[in-house]
Amino acid sequence: MTRTIETGRCNVPALGFGTWQLQGSDAYDCVRVALEVGYRHLDTAQMYDNEEEVGRALRDSDLDRDDVFVTTKVSHRNAAPADVAASTHASLDRLGTDHVDLLLLHWPSDVAPLEATLEAMTRLRDEHKSRHIGVSNFPSQALEQAAGLAPIVTNQVEHHPYLAIDAIEDVADEHDLFVTAYSPLARGRVNDDALLREIADARGCTPAQVVLAWMLQRGVAAIPKSGTPERIAQNHQASDITLSDDELARIRGLDEGLRLIDPPFAPAWD
């Protein structure tokens, strides 16, 4: 089963394949596997240094370009309007495509006013270089501001059972945006969790699949990464799992405010 998130502005396959830290032939091979096992949404970024391999893997697959939702991200260092345009054109060249489906600003940036950055991204959308635009790593107030400035469709943020994002979800609901969860498997930690393992064992699945099902059922897009073909396939099958209300609530109870991605240039979080 393929789950799709539909908002007023955008339809997106809810489960995407994350590619951070996959490089060179690993990136190429894993994206080929991901497409073979059914992913139709790929997540890359200028900062990941793998756009070329991601694009080549997509072109070498049997799929039409239009069958796959491709996201890339403008680095916060390229947030000045001229750099937004130039770096996006360079991303498209590396990806070997004339457009992406979603162009995100990777992090809030102090290189240029947000309005100017989003204007440059909106222009790229109007020129059909990206079907949609959005932001990433925006706390709730900054998200509110961005949603008032430009037709963004998502905020891609860290989210897993140990990190709830209620304030961001509230703003997203208010503006008909979807949330994309990065590091949805808490970078592998979910595998060692007693509760998630108990639910998984009872259902004959894996803790990672339980967590991804928990995201998809709540209408949150998730972009797990794996460099292991078996796990790439297993994770994708999470779309077939439907958890009970009780299971959903018990997983929600795991929140402990654990943030795993917090570089020096990160904003003040909610």
Ligand X SMILES: NC(=O)c1ccc[n+]([C@@H]2O[C@H](COP(=O)([O-])OP(=O)(O)OC[C@H]3O[C@@H](n4cnc5c(N)ncnc54)[C@H](OP(=O)(O)O)[C@@H]3O)[C@@H](O)[C@H]2O)c1
Residue 251 falls in which region: left (phi positive, over 0), alpha (psi -120 to 50) or beta: alpha
Taking the complex as a whole, how short is the minimal distance between the CB of residue 83 and ligand X, in angstroms? 18
DSSP 186: G
User: What is residue 150's three-state secondary structure?
Assistant: coil
> Are 212 and 44 contacting, i.e. CB atoms less than 8 angstroms apart?
no
Min CB(32)–ligand X separation in Å: 15
Question: How far is it, in rounded angstroms, from Cα 130 to Cα 159?
Answer: 25
Q: Which of 75, 78, 88, 235: binder of ligand X (CB under 6 A)? A: 235
From its phi and psi, is residue 176 left (phi > 0), alpha (psi between -120 and 50) or beta? left
Q: Does 261 bind ligand X (CB under 6 A)?
A: yes
- Confirm or reject binding of residue 159 to ligand X (CB under 6 A): no
Pick from 151, 268, 262, 158: nearest CA to 220 = 158
CB of 184 to ligand X, least distance (A): 5
Distance of closest approach, residue 168 Cβ to ligand X, in angstroms: 13
Phi, psi of 162 (to 5 degrees): -90, 0
- Given the rule CB under 6 A, which of 3-11, 87-95, 177-185, 240-248 is the region that contacts ligand X? 177-185
What gap in Å lies between CA 228 and CA 251, rounded to an integer?
25
Least Å distance, CB 242 to ligand X, is: 19
Residues 29-48 that bind ligand X (CB under 6 A): 43
137 binds ligand X (CB under 6 A): yes
- Residue type (1 letter), 108: P
229 near ligand X, rule: CB under 6 A: no
Which range touches ligand X (CB under 6 A), out of 92-100, 161-169, 220-228, 238-246? 220-228
Distance CA 165, CA 156 (A): 11
> Who's near 244: CB < 8 A, 6+ residues apart?
none
Q: Which stretch binds ligand X (CB under 6 A): 126-134, 170-178, 228-236, 244-252?
A: 228-236
The smaller minimum CB distance to ligand X, of residues 127 and 240, is found at 240
Which residue number, 106 or 128, has a Cβ lying nearer to ligand X?
106
In the complex, the residues that contact ligand X under the rule CB under 6 A are: 18-20, 43, 106, 136-137, 156, 182-188, 191, 206, 208, 223-228, 231, 234-235, 261
